[in-house]
A and B are shown apart, each in its own frame.
Chain A
């Protein structure tokens, strides 16, 4: 029964790890495509960078920063799942990767919320405007919540690691 559960967890971890690596690669590739491709490019597959009135270079910088943090988070998640696949779900390394995943996810969410308005303010100040209109997406703000929950999960994993250590030293 227990070995069946472990096999099932290992199989799910392997699939999720591959999905996480694919997601990280896709995140970087699509963002790079959107940043580097000319706006009027006509091809079968196209990625568009939404500038929202910002200079193209600034919008590209924001997109790259968010993509780097997101891809980093997915890579850390994949590495953590690799530990789960190896049968070490509560090892110190697995928990460290999970904590980094939560941190980078929070960073990506924070950058997505904070950078566009800051860039808009900076652009307005540079152009000498006295009034500026800022827009916040509720979905982006909500994305901070899972990141906070993942930090809590990391704390729970710490406790699980302690219990596993206890269990291992009971014969």
Chain B
């Protein structure tokens, strides 16, 4: 997958809990877990906006583009 979700990183940086975020956004914890692991086909702008509001960040802080060949090499931007 070329798009990597960095929600877990932002949650750790903000020291926020998944349960609180899920409650604030209005989605289930299982859906949030799927989003964190990148096992979803898309994110609604509404969901993205609520996450950014809760974490005080930009969409770009949550999503990153990693070319497939880099991901296969185990590299990435970090």
Chain A proximity mask over B42-57: 1 for CB below 8 Å, otherwise 0: 1110010000000000
> CA separation between A169 and B34, bound complex, in Å?
9
11 contacts between A and B (CB under 8 A): A166-B41, A169-B40, A169-B41, A170-B40, A170-B42, A170-B43, A171-B35, A171-B40, A171-B42, A171-B43, A171-B44
CA gap between A170 and B35 in the complex, in Å: 9
Closest to B44 in A: A170
Query: In the assembly, what is the distance between CA of A169 and CA of B27, in Å?
Result: 13
Q: Give B contacts to A, CB under 8 Å.
A: 27, 31-32, 34-35, 40-44, 47
**Neighbouring A residues of B44 by C-beta, 8 Å:** 170-171
Q: Which interface residue of A166, A169, A170, A171 has the most chain B CB atoms within 10 A?
A: A171
Tell me which of A166, A169, A171 contacts B47 (CB under 8 A): A171
Query: How far is A170 from B27 in the complex, measured between Cα atoms in Å?
Result: 11
* CA of A166 to CA of B40, assembled, Å: 9
> Binding site of B, secondary structure by majority: helix, strand, loop or mixed?
mixed
What's the nearest-Cβ distance from chain A to residue B5, in Å? 10
B-side contacts of A171, CB under 8 Å:
27, 31-32, 34-35, 40, 42-44, 47
A170 to B42, CA, bound (A): 5
Query: A168: nearest residue on chain B (CB-CB)?
Result: B41
**A167, chain B: closest CB distance, angstroms:** 9
A170 to B44, CA, bound (A): 7
Task: List A contacts of B40 (CB < 8 A).
Answer: 169-171
Q: How far is the CB of B30 from chain A (nearest CB, A)?
A: 10
A41 to chain B, nearest CB (A): 64
6 A-B pairs with least C-beta separation: A170-B42, A169-B41, A171-B31, A171-B35, A171-B40, A169-B40
Residues in A whose Cβ lies below 8 Å from that of B42? 166, 169-171
Bound Cα distance from A169 to B32, whole angstroms: 12
Output the residue of B27, B31, B32 with the most chain A CB within 10 A.
B31
| Residues of B close to A169: CB separation below 8 A | 40-42
CA distance A52 to B33 in the complex (A): 69
**Which chain A residue shows the least CB distance to B35?**
A171
